[in-house]
Chains A and B, each alone.
Chain A
Amino acid sequence: MRPLTQRDQRTIRYGGIAVGIYLVLFCVLHVWKFFEHKRSDYNDLVQQAHLLKDQIEPYQTKILVVQKLMKEYHLDAAKLSEATVVAQASAAIQDEAKADGVALGAIHESSAQSTGLELASIHIQGNGPVKGTLTLLDRLQRLGYPLIIDSVQVIPNNMQPGQVKFDLTIAVLDFEQWKKPEAAHA
C-alpha cells in the first residue's frame, strides 16, 4: 500500500470532519425531534387540562346550589329507592300529620299518571285545627321525599268550630326519570 500523501491526508481529514459533522447534526436532529415531540405532547396535555378547568369551574356554583336545595328540602335523591319511596313518603306524611295534631281520613294511592314524571299519586282526606293543617301543608314538601301537592281543598268543619277539613292530592315524583341521560325536564 502506497503511503498517503499530504493531499490524501487532508482529503481524509476533511472527509472525516464532514462525516463527523453530519453524524453530529443527524444525532442532534433526532434528539431535538424526540424532545420536541415530548414538548408538543406536554403542551397538548396542558391545553386539555385548561379545557377541563374551564369545564369544571361552573360546577363550583352548581354544587353550592344543589347543596342549598338539598338542605332546603331535606332531600338526597341518591339515598332514595324507587321501590320504597311511595310507602316511605306515605308513612312520613302520616307521622307528620300526627305530630301536627291533624287527623287523617281516607288515604288512596294510585300509580303514575300519563306525564311519566310521577311515580304515584296519594289522595289524603283529613280534619284538624287551622294551625296544624297549615303546618302540615308547609312541611309536606320538606319531609325528605320528592312530593308535590297537586291540589288542596280546605273547607270549614261546621261540626267542630276552629277546625277545617281538607282534601290533598300529592304527587310522588319519579326521581329516576332525571337519572336517564336523555331526560330533559328543566
Chain B
Amino acid sequence: MKLPGEQFIKSSADRFMKAPAGRFINLHAERFIKSPAGQFIKERRYIVPAPVYIEMGVDTFRALQENEGLELPLERLNNGRLSDACRENLAVGLKAFLKREKWQLPARAICAIAGTGLSLRRLVLPPAPKSEWQRLLLLQIETEFPLSPDELAWGCRQLSEEPAHGAPVRQEFMVAAVRKEVLEDYSSALANCGVRPVFTLAALARSRFCPVPDEPYSILDLDSKHSEWIAFENNIPAVLRIFPWGTDNFAATEQTPDAAIEAIRSQPGRTLFLTGAGDRHELVAALARKLGDGINCRRVEAGEESGWSAGVFGVRQWAGMNGGVPSLTLRTKPKRIRGVPAKLQLSDPVLRQRALVATVLLIGFLVLPYAQALLLKPYVAHKVAAIQSQQGRLTTIDRELTFLQYLKENSPPYLDALYLFGTAAPPGTRLDSVTMNKHGEVSLSGSFGSFQQVVDFRTKLIQSGFFSTVSVDEQVPAQQKLNVRMTAVWKPVQARERLSIGPSAAEIAQATNGPASPKLSNH
C-alpha cells in the first residue's frame, strides 16, 4: 500500500529536499538500500531526519517514519507507568527502527498517548485581559484537578472565539492533564532514542482520521487488552474512558462490555467509529449486536501494516496542517497560551544546541578581526620588510630602462636611409658620397641620367615619409649626365615609428633565390 505522497525530491542532483512540513532541508549523505522490487536505490539521509509519528497506546506502541512502521507491545505497572523492562525493550526497538546517525539532529516526533490516567475538563475563565488567561487557567486547574499544576503535565485548547477588539469576555478552554511522571517517563524513553517528542492525545488524533459527521459521535479504539472510548459533542471531546477489555480478551470478558455499552448508549451521539479491530469481524459483529439498532457502528481501519493505526495516521494528518502542531499539546511545563508571551526555554536540547552554535558564530565574528591581526601580523610584517629591502632594485630597474630607452631612441637609422636610397635611385645612378649623422642630416652627391630622374628620385624619397625635407642643392650637367648634390633630414623617431621600412619577407625570399628590385612599403 502506498502512502499519500508527502515529500518530493526536486531532482536527483539536488542537495535539497522538501520535508512534509514544507521546509527544505539539506541532504547530507546517501547510502544504498534494497527496494521491494529487489533493486538497490539510494537512501537519502538528512541532518534533520524525517518526523516520527507515534501512538503510545495502553498495550501497544506504534511508530511510523516515512513508509516504515514499528509495533511493540507495552507492559505497564499497576500505576499505569511503563515497566523498566518495557522501557528497555522500547529503547532497543526504537533505536533499531530509527537508525539515527551520530551527525543527525534528533528526529521530531508527534506522540499520541493513551488516555490512561488522563483527565479531560472544560474550564471557563471569567472575563479578563488576555495576559491574565495563563494565571487564571492555572488557578482553575488547581481547583478542578486533584493535583496541582506543578504535578501535572497538561495542555489546553481554546474553545471559544477570541474577542474581536481584545475586550475581556468569558473564555472556555478544554484542558487535558496527566501526572507529570507519566509524560516524563515517555519523554525520557523517547529522548534516549534520539527523538524530540511533542505529546498529544491519541483519542483526539483518531478523530482526525475518522470521517467526522455533523452530529455528535464517538470513537472506540480496540487495543489488545484495553479499549479507549471518546465521545464528541460539537467536535469537542466530552467523555474519555478506558475499558479493561480489548481484541484479545473480548470473548473472555463477555459480561464486561455491558458497562461500555451502557456508556456509549447514554451519549447523544448515534455514530460510533470503531478502530483497531483488524480482522476480528466476529468481535465487531458482537459489539454491534450488543449496541443494538440505535447505534450506527462504523468500522475505520488504517491498515494491517506494522505500526499503522488510526492514532498514528491522525497525528500524521496533524503534522501536515496547522504548522505541524497538534491542537492540544501536553507539556510538563506550563503551556503558553497563544498570544501570551512566555519565557524562552533553554532546556530544549535542540534550542540549546542552536543557541550554542549562534553564540560560537557571534564570538567568532567578533574575535576574528583581532585574531587575524595577532596571527597574521608577523607574516605580513615579514613580507613587507622583505619587499622594502628589495626596493633598491626598483631604482636599478628604472635606471636600466632609462638607459636602454635612450640607447634605442638615439640609434640612428643609417641602414634604413641607405635602403631607401637604393630603392629610390633609378638604374644608372651613381652615388659618389653619402654622409649621415645621428641628428638625421644626410648629404648625398652623385650623378643621374636626366633631370627627370633627379625629380623622380627626390619624389620617391619624400613619398617614403622617412624624410622631413629633401632638397637638391646643386645640379650640374656634364657629359650626358647630371652631377647632383642633395641634402635631406629624416624625421624624428616618434614620426618614424609608424613606418615599415625594409624588405618584406617575400622580398627577402626572392632576393635569396634570384635578383629582384626591392620595393618601399609605406604604412
Contact = CB atoms under 8 A, between A and B. Distances in A.
Interface string A57-98: 001001101100110110101100000000000000000000
Interface string A161-186: 00000000000010100110101011
Q: How large is the interface on A (under 10, 10 to 19, 20 to 34, 35 or more residues)?
A: 35 or more
Looking at chain A's contact residues, the main secondary structure is helix
Contacts of A151: 435-438
Contact of A146 (B380, B407, B415, B436): B407
A55 B411 CA distance: 31
A12 interface: no
B393 to A, nearest CB: 9
B370 A35 contact: yes
B399 A178 contact: yes
A181 B373 CA distance: 38
A125 to B, nearest CB: 14
Contacts of A48: 384
Interface in A94-134: 134
A77 B403 contact: yes
A100 to B, nearest CB: 14
Given A45-B380, A141-B411, A150 B395 contact: no
Contact of A66 (B374, B380, B401, B412): B401
B436 A152 contact: yes
Contact of B384 (A45, A66, A183): A45
A42 B384 CA distance: 12
Contacts of A69: 401, 404-405, 407-408
A72 B409 CA distance: 13
B9 interface: no
B407 A62 contact: no
A25 interface: no
B184 to A, nearest CB: 37
A175 B403 contact: yes
A35 B371 CA distance: 9
B373 A41 contact: yes
B345 interface: no
Nearest to A155: B433
A73 B373 contact: no
A178 B438 contact: no
A72 B404 CA distance: 10
A24 interface: no
A156 B447 CA distance: 13
A21 interface: no
Contacts of B415: 134, 137-138
A178 B403 contact: yes
A38 B370 contact: yes
A45 B384 CA distance: 8
Interface string A132-146: 001001100100001
B388 to A, nearest CB: 7
Given A49-B380, A155-B433, A178 B373 contact: no
Interface of A: 35-36, 38-39, 41-43, 45-46, 48-49, 52, 55-56, 59, 62-63, 65-66, 69-70, 72-73, 75, 77-78, 134, 137-138, 141, 146, 148-156, 173, 175, 178-179, 181, 183, 185-186
6 contacts: A41-B373, A48-B384, A73-B407, A153-B436, A173-B407, A185-B406
Interface of B: 369-370, 372-374, 376-377, 380-381, 383-384, 387-388, 394-395, 397-408, 410-412, 414-415, 418, 430-438
Given A152-B434, A178-B406, A181-B395, 13 more contacts: A39-B373, A42-B380, A45-B377, A45-B380, A66-B401, A69-B408, A75-B407, A77-B403, A149-B412, A175-B403, A178-B400, A178-B402, A185-B406
